[in-house]
Amino acid sequence: MHTFKTAILLLFLLAALTGCAARGAQSDDPALPQPQNTPAQTANTGEPGTGAASLVPRKLARGEDGVPILRVYNTGTDEIDELPVEEYVTCVLAGEMAGDWPLEALKAQAILARTFVLQFVSEKTSMYDGADISTDIREAQAYDPAGVNDRIRQAVSETRGLVLNAGGKLPYAWFHAHSGGLTARAKEGLDYEKDEPGYTQCVKGMENDEAPAEAAEWTASFTADEVLAAAADSGAAVESLTSISIGERGESGRAKTLLISGREVSAPAFRIAIGSTKMRSCLLTSLRVEDGEVRMSGKGYGHGVGMSQWGAYAMAKAGKTAEDIVLHYFAGVTIDRAWGESGSPDASPSPGNG
């Protein structure tokens, strides 16, 4: 995953749980783990602290209120805008969640969005010269200034400065639409090549019946040519389509590898290559070749790592707070304040920031 998979899978970037992986699964209706049998790890639910101030990238200047300033390349205007992180997060939140969703779900997404951009600036370089990050979905988050409303502004304001802190480091703030019942660790859901982060875990997705049916369960079919092209893009050149099956499953039941005419291919990479809006997840319940086509069924929508957005929706509707939501999906992290609350500058900015 040094080229294609790294470039694509990580853009849309330890619980002591037991699980099993099955090899060579051939059944059209393979058994999957049951959500009720997979407990969440006990999370730190303490009050937001101030330990994240030192996590703000040193290269970011700060405004008078202590909020870091971003240079954001806007693909719509072909210009670089200088925006406070809080303003950037407001536009991202509008792009990632509907503005009429429960406030606590929006607040949870805002915490992840803020963590994402700071982590990106800390570790990566934008593909656009002179920018810290862009509105290009290929490298960053969705961005929709026109979708901003009062509820979204409130969610950002009430989480001002709050980010995830994974033992003194900013984690990858992964999220997805619907887990299909169980979330996944990074190696399973994203084919992540580095050591498994300590904050990922396999837990109940927490979605309810209000999630769209097509997100909870789906079916898709692909021509032989589509499958062979996607296999080649994923690093497994196959001359003809004779068979397809699941090679290895991960802890949540997601396919980690597929066997296409006997050749092994990364399931997450194959999903991206063949179209992630059609093959909506790797949590497959049926996979077969029929009448020269590949037909498959599955559960959930997205890679399954981190926070389920429809799970956040359901938890918020059930009265859970943003902190409850985020800490359900991420293990061993704290939610800390990287700069001051609204109206007060950060009392302890890290050296060199501005």
- Same domain? 260 vs 240: yes
Q: How far apart are CA 281 and CA 271, in angstroms?
A: 7
Close Cβ partners of 157 (under 8 Å, ≥ 6 residues apart)? 86, 342
- Residue-wise pLDDT for 267-290, tens only, equals 999 999 999 999 999 999 999 999
- Residue-wise pLDDT for 165-196, tens only, equals 999 999 999 999 999 999 999 999 999 999 99
Q: Give the model's pLDDT for residue 44.
A: 38
Q: Which of 149, 156, 174 is nearest to 164 (CA)?
A: 174
Strand partners of residue 334: 165
Mean pLDDT estimate for the chain: 86
Q: Are 134 and 73 in contact (CB under 8 A)?
A: yes
- Residue 342 — very low, low, confident or very high, per pLDDT cuts 50/70/90? low
Q: Which of 37, 146, 44 is nearest to 90 (CA)?
A: 146
Give the relative orientation of helices 85-96 and 103-123 as an angle to the nearest 10 degrees.
120
Confidence check: pLDDT of 9 > 80: no
- Same domain? 221 vs 79: no
Specify if 206 maps to a domain.
Answer: no
Average pLDDT of the residues in 198-225: 97
- Same domain? 228 vs 152: no
- Environment class of residue 288 by beta-carbon count within 10 Å: exposed (0-12), middle (13-18) or buried (19+)? middle
Specify if 26 maps to a domain.
Answer: yes
- Same domain? 223 vs 77: no
Specify if 282 maps to a domain.
Answer: yes
- Same domain? 295 vs 320: no
Confidence check: pLDDT of 65 > 90: yes
Specify if 58 maps to a domain.
Answer: yes
- Same domain? 231 vs 315: no
Q: Give the model's pLDDT for residue 45.
A: 35
Tell me the range of 5-9, 43-47, 206-210 where mean pLDDT is highest.
Answer: 206-210
In the block, tokens 């809080």 appear at 86
- Same domain? 81 vs 58: yes
Q: Are 74 and 131 in contact (CB under 8 A)?
A: no
Task: Output 98 or 31, whichever has higher pLDDT.
Answer: 98
Strand partners of residue 218: 298
Q: Give the model's pLDDT for residue 51.
A: 65
Here the tokens at position 309 are 């957005």
Confidence check: pLDDT of 344 > 70: no
- Same domain? 311 vs 295: no
Please give the residue range of the domain that contains residue 86. Answer: 53-176+307-337
Specify if 115 maps to a domain.
Answer: yes
pTM of the predicted model, to two decimals?
0.84
Largest Cα separation within the chain, whole Å, is 66
